[in-house]
């Protein structure tokens, strides 16, 4: 029997590429997404694959999965500034309730758990580049606070499940990722720059232009996660 993996947020940019990778590696993939920010277009090529199953479900609600699960990869969340500003409550709920429910599946199935966190846990960092031991500088009531705090809580409950319930957990703090299936208008620098280049327009840079970004191509990101 093929090992089964549950990927929440599997219809999103990074999640859909992870679905591709795990199908390619010989796993049976359960993709779970409520399609608020994800898109079926990202996985249409997989829908007829016998090793791929799509489940439309909001992981902020209880998750029921029959049968064994080997990995739980929790990628469900609005991620772009446009999205989490549009869905602030849903962003907080999926970071809290969604992570709790996904961890519950991992605990019940004895599965390994991976949380997709973010560089946003550092907020407006006072240290460059950021070490993993750096705790960040976050404004919890600022415009980005809903996303920052959702992910910070998600990390905290992930570690709590690891310490209290011995769940085998991992956390990956994802920075700026680009590549196929990213949306041109998602409010982040790389898609905006590429779109402006394709249209032969001047590049828009906010602030004094001295900001830095850590960028990673999507295939390198998912191979690193795997």
Catalytic residues: 147
Sign of the CA dihedral running 10, 100, 91, 224: negative
Whole-angstrom distance, CA of residue 105 vs CA of residue 110 = 8
Closest C-alpha among 33, 118, 105 to residue 79: 118
- Examine residue 209 and say whether the peptide bond preceding it is cis (omega within 30 degrees of 0): no
> In degrees rounded to 5, what are phi and psi of residue 218?
-60, -40
Contact, 51 vs 7, CB < 8 A? no
- Examine residue 47 and say whether the peptide bond preceding it is cis (omega within 30 degrees of 0): no
Whole-angstrom distance, CA of residue 124 vs CA of residue 18 = 29
Query: What is the distance in angstroms between the CA of the first residue and the CA of the last residue of the chain?
Result: 20
Q: 25 is written with which tokens?
A: 């590696």
Exposed/middle/buried for residue 119 (C-beta within 10 Å: 0-12, 13-18, 19+): middle
Closest C-alpha among 43, 145, 163, 22 to residue 95: 145
């Amino acid at each position: 029997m093929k090992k089964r993996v549950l990927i929440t947020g599997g219809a999103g940019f990074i999640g859909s590429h992870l679905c591709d990778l795990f199908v390619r590696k010989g796993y049976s993939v359960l993709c779970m997404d409520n399609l608020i920010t994800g898109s079926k277009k990202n996985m249409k090529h997989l829908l007829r694959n016998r090793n791929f199953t799509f489940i439309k479900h909001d992981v902020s609600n209880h998750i029921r999965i029959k049968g064994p699960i080997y990995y739980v990869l929790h990628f469900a969340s609005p991620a772009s500034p446009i999205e989490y500003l549009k869905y602030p409550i849903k962003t907080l709920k999926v970071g809290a309730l969604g992570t709790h429910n996904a961890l519950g599946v991992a605990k019940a199935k004895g599965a390994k758990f991976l949380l997709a966190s973010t560089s946003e846990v550092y907020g407006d960092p006072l240290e460059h580049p950021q070490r993993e031991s750096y705790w960040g500088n976050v404004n919890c009531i600022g415009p980005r606070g809903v996303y920052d705090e959702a992910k910070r809580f998600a990390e905290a409950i992930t570690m709590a499940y690891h310490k209290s319930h011995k769940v085998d957990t991992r956390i990956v703090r994802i920075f700026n990722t680009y590549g196929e299936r990213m949306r041109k208008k998602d409010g982040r620098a790389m898609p905006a720059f590429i779109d402006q280049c394709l249209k032969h327009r001047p590049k828009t840079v906010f602030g004094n232009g001295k900001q830095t970004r850590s960028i990673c191509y999507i295939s390198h990101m998912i191979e690193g996660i795997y």
